[in-house]
Chains A and B, each alone.
Chain A
Amino acid sequence: MDFLNAFILISNFIIVPAITYGSQLALGAIGVTLIYGVLRFANFAYGDLMAFGTMIVILFTWYLQSKGITLGFLPTAILAIPIGIIFTVAISLFFDKTVFEYYREKKSNPVTFIVVSLGIMFVLNAVVRIIIGPNDINFMDGHKFVIKASEFKKLTGLDEGLAIKSTQVITLITTIISCSLLFYFLNKTKTGKSMRAYSNNEDLALLSGINPKKIIIITWVIVSILATIAGTLYGLDKSFKPFTYFNNLLPIFAATIVGGIGNPLGAFYGGFLIAFSEIALTYAYKKFLGYLLPESLEPNTLIQFISTDYKFAISFAILVIVLIFRPNGIFKGKVI
């Protein structure tokens, strides 16, 4: 019984939140890594692209709500995601046409691309704040919980409760669907294969008649879809605030590099690795050990590896460690 209680405790405070957060990071990291693989630069504007997509979703959600359209127990935002995707794709392609294309044709060095993406980051940052403001926005409606902690206790008769929020389930399902579609696309379809070929060796891909313009447009479309979905899921799970989205760019970058930059599967695992270590290392294991150990051995301190203040710092530290030991990432990077 104690063992079961300990397991539920860990699931409630570590496993379920980490899977949710990991999925959000993984979706974001796959986007960053695709840009890196095909377009060959680290896009610093990605966090703000996520914020932009989420903003459109929120605006459309409000519109739907004002018309009285809801999805019942599901959040209305799911209905609004396609609209958000359309706008995000449009703005990505707009920036690609007006900004990135010029430098691509000039074959500028990666630093120029980074600097230019900083410029776009500033612009998007301003656009989002001007349109929707800098404040916290909660746009989650529908049922909050799949199961509440108290209900779980009543149901199972255990001392520990397990609460599962509906956003957590939605996040997981959406991530599974979108990732399987993406990996199917990359590995099985002709366009996906030509994308990988282009990423692997540009000149060879051009020789075999792959149209680079098409590849680049498809990349931006996929990336924008991922950015909007990841942003909306994060916003539903926590809340929408432009500044947090900018900050989330940092763990996303960490996940990308940890998994091997340019490698989507690596980015997927990287997201989960970062999420699990952030949450597992900042959790206080006192109660958990209390269940497992005999009473005489029970700890009287919190048994916390590092304080929760350093949650973000953990992902950065993991990145530094990976950079020292395996600069190419845990999974070999630079090939999609």
Chain B
Amino acid sequence: MAVQEFVAPKSLPEAQGIFANDGSASWLAGGTDLLVGMRLGMRDPSRIIDLKQIPELMALEVSDDSILIGAAASAYDILHNSEIGSLCPGLADALDLIGSTQIQGRCSAGGNLCNASPAADSIPALIANGAVCRILGSSGERLLPVEDFLVGPGKNALKADELLVQLVLPKPMLGTSDAYLRLTPRTEMDIAVAGTGVSITLDTAGVCTAARVAIGAVAPTALLVEAAGQALVGSKLEDEAIDSAVTAVRAAASPISDKRGSAQYRTHVVGVLVKRAIQRAQARINAGAKA
């Protein structure tokens, strides 16, 4: 079986109409997972629907209270949107760690999320930033937090007739910043052994008023660790508070052992990364306050 048809709809209703008629169709955003999957014989769509002509899927907008990222917008486009990069430097760091310059020219945050790899770099950063999926189906639109969109390794919550349209992030308020850190044996072109995305809000006295901690590559899906965030709220991010967050993260981790690292190693490393990511987000807030 080979691909029989390629279509590039120009609007959401047009895309949905095509998809509803054909269960063996695949959405195409950047293609960095789909085309590799087809090459490896793991994906075999009869029809490919290119999403990049649909304005909503390519949108990048920052408003007073939210950041909107079209699901098919490339990492390159997001990284070169100066507003998103400065509002969410941790999310930008995560996107900048995906693949090569060539891959970043194509790969999308929406595709990285739909592909649902446990080790995906952008997902913990999206969760930390409180990103919500805007999903369009034949019965209308629904919203789903990113942490609830992930069902298992390579599995997402989209139904057969649904399309991920956009990611909506609350615009970080004053005193908020984020960080993403991962460990890889090589500096480039590698997949996380463990990763973490952290978003923190500090008041003017340096007291943490909100925190979200997410971890990747140490469980079947990226996870929001609510207990880790709660351990930080009310503290000035002293060692005891951070140690509590690290303990919570290690308790939530349930990694596999494979060639990239043993379960024990990953559990240890994700805690180290969380500590450093908290401190990096804190340093970013302090640098912003001085500026």
Query: Real complex partners, A and B?
Result: no
A→B interface (CB under 8 Å): none
Q: Which residues of B contact A (CB under 8 A)?
A: none
